[in-house]
Amino acid sequence: MDNDPLVFATNIQVLGAKTRNRDFLLWLGELLGLNWLKEKKGKADPEAKGNIIPKLLTAFACRCVEINDFVSLQELLERVNVDNAGYDGSSPVHRACEIGNIGMLKYLHSKGTSCNLVDRRGNTPMTLAVKNRKLDTVKMLQIFGGSVFCEPVRIGIELCKAVRERDYMMLKAWSLAGVDMDQADYNGRTAMHTAVRNRDPGMVSKLLELGATPLELDVWGWKAVDEAKKHHLTDILMLFHPLFTEKFTTSHLFQLYRDSLEAGLE
């Protein structure tokens, strides 16, 4: 018989309701009995049991999220805290956001989960939603107060990488997560610097739509608009003109303009 829990965890439909097959229930009962967890003297280790059971139940809960099994997840959450982490530091809400399961995200939120838990790799649910381009999930996490806990320079690196790969969906996800689209990498280079260097007016246009500017200085004192002028990139300069070539020539001036617009809306 196959002892793979992921095989046993497959749902069965009975009159429209989800249930479990008998093999899975027997396997789960034996596993949670922990008869295999013995010390040399033959006695179960209470401390080991106390540590391992929550992690096992959390692993099952994450699997329920993957297969959209609300019934089993509800039963598991009666026995384990919704914010408990498994062996990899991942919780059910991490898994829901990684695969973009909004229904599960809403359910877990109703159960009191935190949308700012951090796994062992430093990922919050929002970070996983962004990296997997789950735009609707990112929007929902914004409503629930989710954030990206990441070093700013790391965000800058990711934005530049998305531009190089022409990954507009990734840029859109970062933007929806509320990050600064002018965030720079270690060299002060922004996504806009990268788009101009690549002579990519399409990406320049997309970045402008997402709120990026060509006004940030890199470590050599160059702005993206300066590079466009230096290399006579007419098609890109047309996108910058006149807002960033005549009206607002520094990021400070443009920020004052933005602030005045926001004040007017209020």
Q: Is the dihedral of CA 149, 151, 152, 157 positive or negative?
A: negative
Mean pLDDT score, 4-22: 44
Per residue in 167-195, is it b (16+ CB within 10 Å) or e — as a string?
ebebbbbbbbbebbbbbbbeebbbbbbbb
**pLDDT over 50 (residue 244):** yes
User: Could you say which DSSP state residue 80 is in?
Assistant: S
Lookup: tokens for 64: 């329920």
Q: What is the pLDDT of residue 53?
A: 77
Per-residue pLDDT at 203 exceeds 70: yes
Neighbours of 50 (CB within 10 A): 9
State the chain's mean pLDDT as an integer: 85
Q: Would the pLDDT of 233 be above 60?
A: yes
Report d(CA 253, CA 86) in Å as an integer: 48
Buried b / exposed e over 128-165, threshold 16 CB at 10 Å, is bbbbbbbbebbebbbebebbbebeeeebbbbbbebbee
Other Cβ atoms closer than 10 A to 32: 15
CATH 1.25.40.20 fits 150-266, yes or no: yes
Least trusted range by pLDDT, from 1-15, 141-155, 207-221: 1-15
Helix (H) or strand (E) holding 65: helix 46-66
Q: Could you tell me the two tokens for 186? A: 């270690």
Please tell me the distance from the alpha carbon of residue 247 to that of residue 266, in angstroms, as a whole number.
24
Phi, psi at 7, each rounded to 5°? -75, -45
DSSP letter for 178, please. T
Residue 33's pLDDT is 56
Distance CA 108, CA 73 (A): 10
* C-beta separation of 65 from 95 below 8 A: yes
Whether the pLDDT of residue 9 is over 50: the answer is no
Closest CA relative to residue 225, chosen from 247, 241, 205: 241
Question: What is the chain's alpha carbon radius of gyration, rounded to the nearest angstrom?
Answer: 25
Instruction: Quote the pLDDT of residue 7.
Output: 41
Q: Looking only at Cα atoms, what is the longest distance across the chain?
A: 82
Rounded average pLDDT over 153-159: 97
Burial of 82 (0-12, 13-18, 19+ CB in 10 A): buried
